[in-house]
Amino acid sequence: MKSNYDFSNAVKNPHTKKLKKTICINISESVLAYFKELAEKTGIPYQTLINMFLTQAKAEKMEPKFIAKPPRKKQVA
């Protein structure tokens, strides 16, 4: 390896806005265990599996069944 590198002609990564963002969320132990077990079976890291699952949910516009929609406002005649 060189002792010095010339970065004067370097170009900023154009894909930086598409990179993943680190967040902290609370997940139940059983859900985490499920994804870790699935990770062992598939050879895919569990965090990647969770991201793939959420990406699929977004693509299919899935909505949780347990979330009630707000009531509609009555129209005044």
Which whole number is the average pLDDT over 51-66?
93
Model pLDDT, residue 16: 76
Distance, CA of 16 to CA of 6 (rounded, Å): 22
Distance, CA of 52 to CA of 69 (rounded, Å): 26
Distance, CA of 34 to CA of 67 (rounded, Å): 23
Contact 38, 49 (CB under 8 A): yes
Distance, CA of 76 to CA of 10 (rounded, Å): 63
For residue 77, pLDDT beyond 70: no
- Residue whose structure tokens are 């991201």: 51
For residue 14, pLDDT beyond 70: yes
For residue 57, which phi and psi values (nearest 5 degrees)?
-60, -40
